[in-house]
Amino acid sequence: MKYLSTRGSIAPIGFKDAVMMGLATDGGLILPESIPHLDRATVAAWSKLPYRELAFNIISLFATDIPKQDLKELIDRSYASFNHADTTPLVKKNGVYILELFHGPTLAFKDVALQLLGNLFEYLLKERGQKMNILGATSGDTGSAAIAGVRGKENINIFILHPHLKTSPIQARQMTTVLDANVHNIAVKGTFDDCQDIVKTLFNDLPFKEKYALGAVNSINWARVLAQVVYYFYAWGRLPEQEEVIFSVPTGNFGDIFAGYLAKRMGLPVKKLLLATNENNILSRFVASGDYSLGQVVQTVSPSMDIQLASNLERYLYYLFNENPARVREAFAELRQTGRIVFSAEEQKQVQSEFLTCSVGEAETLKTIADFYRETGYTLDPHTAVGVHGALKCVTDGSSAVCLATAHPAKFGEAVEKAVGAPTPLPPQLAALAGLETRCEVMDADKDLVKAFLEAKAN
Ligand SMILES: *Cc1c(COP(=O)(O)O)cnc(C)c1O
């Protein structure tokens, strides 16, 4: 399997190079040259396999340049860190299915992708005799999943900046209690934007970037998308009837839902993908009316979806534009110049044949958590509640709906408590953090301080 860029200007590369490249060197996103198609019998047989076997079957269609035995070991190791025998169990509550994606080390769905990516990085760096220094900024969730993905790995250091005292205490502890020598938490006295600005500036410092082999773990890495395709098949295989279903996906960067789109293209019987957003609803507007125009980011109770520019949308646009990279380049030039992309009537029709959408406000989100808790005793986190609300409101044709549950409710305890009126019990993994030692470097928001720190710690 070879890979290309949505912008059309890289020579075809293999899977291993695609993982190491991250963002395509022409500024586009990496995609496979063709999407493998499975017949119905194969879909039916594979989707009933245990998680790791299914993951191996699907990922090996795309990772054709890694020896099968090595790939199998990488996958087994990645999902051994999950604390549920089903890895991503499917439960039914109140007439909808909930696909629990939060049984990984940091109790968020990003673990599904980042556990695999961490192992892939370690494997490929060793093979190539290279080292990597991962640098990133986080407002909470992604940072801890990235750290959990690479802690203790050889030839990798990770430097994660977070705004000092501005992440939730649990999220800060999830990061700073990781004491492995290759993990470096930096608490910046400033905002999340200050953290991001510093990271961007250092990535733009090309001699520095090269010298320290700076790497990123953001959601545009192809391996992350690929890892997420697996659970769509897995969920479908656990339904009592093998029918066409709707997946409801709480969406921020469009990575998770794009994996669902790929699963559909591979032959999974998906009727529609329901794109659920919070008040940051640029993607909902795109689906509902072809209006893709940037607004201001607003803060919500589902902060991991507080995003305007959805980095993975470009992958879908490549297919919407009939795999024409010139049209992709044009669209992003238009976005840069005018702050929006305009779609033809035909394109809008195509989008609506594949997606439903629902934009859910804070009151509705909290009410969904409260109602669900009262009626079923099951606690939704605020991100998951956005998708569940979408499914209860927008799936009106009697289809079965599978809602992706992207975080454990205890990670967003404050919002959940506001909704249900009582604190959510902490799972043992989070409760144990309270007594642990922490390590973190507190720093002024100054790129030179971060740079000097990285120089001192990188090896
Ligand atoms: C990242 C995240 C999302 C959004 O996923 P995307 O792939 O960015 O669309 C939803 N919920 C939680 C809890 C997340 O951490």
Distance 250 CA to ligand 1 centre (A): 7
Atom number in ligand 1 closest to CA 256? 7
Catalytic position from the list 16, 48, 110, 209? 110
Distance 432 CA to ligand 1 centre (A): 25
Task: Tell me, yes or no, if 110 is annotated catalytic.
Answer: yes
Evaluate: CB of 253 within 6 angstroms of ligand 1. yes
Among 284, 221, 287, which Cα is nearest to 21's? 221
Evaluate: CB of 219 within 6 angstroms of ligand 1. yes
Atom number in ligand 1 closest to CA 383? 11
Confidence of residue 309 (pLDDT cuts 50, 70, 90): confident
Q: What is the pLDDT of residues 181-206, one digit of tens each?
A: 999 999 999 988 899 889 989 988 98
Distance 128 CA to ligand 1 centre (A): 32
Q: Hey, which of 256, 365, 408 would you mutate to test ligand 1's pocket, going by the most ligand atoms within 8 Å of its Cβ?
A: 256
Which pLDDT does position 169 carry in this prediction? Answer: 86
Look at residue 229 and tell me whether its pLDDT is greater than 90.
Answer: yes
Q: What is the pLDDT of residues 108-153, one digit of tens each?
A: 999 999 999 999 999 999 999 999 999 999 887 889 999 999 999 9
Which pLDDT does position 219 carry in this prediction? Answer: 79
Evaluate: CB of 251 within 6 angstroms of ligand 1. yes
Distance 406 CA to ligand 1 centre (A): 7
Evaluate: CB of 383 within 6 angstroms of ligand 1. yes
Average pLDDT of the residues in 381-386 = 97
Which pLDDT does position 448 carry in this prediction? Answer: 97
> Average pLDDT over the chain, rounded to whole?
95
Average pLDDT of the residues in 319-337 = 97
User: For residue 397, what are the CA distances in angstroms to 90, 245, 246, 269?
Assistant: 22, 11, 10, 16
For residues 101 and 112, give the distance between their C-alpha atoms in angstroms, rounded to a whole number: 7
Q: Say if residues 40 and 59 touch (Cβ distance below 8 Å).
A: no
Q: What is the pLDDT of residues 391-417, one digit of tens each?
A: 999 999 999 999 999 999 999 999 999
Confidence of residue 435 (pLDDT cuts 50, 70, 90): confident
Confidence of residue 217 (pLDDT cuts 50, 70, 90): confident
Domains of the chain in start order, with CATH, are 90-105+223-420 (3.40.50.1100)
The DSSP result for 242-302, as a single string, is ---EEEEEE-SSSHHHHHHHHHHHTT--EEEEEEEE-S--HHHHHHHHSEEE-------S-
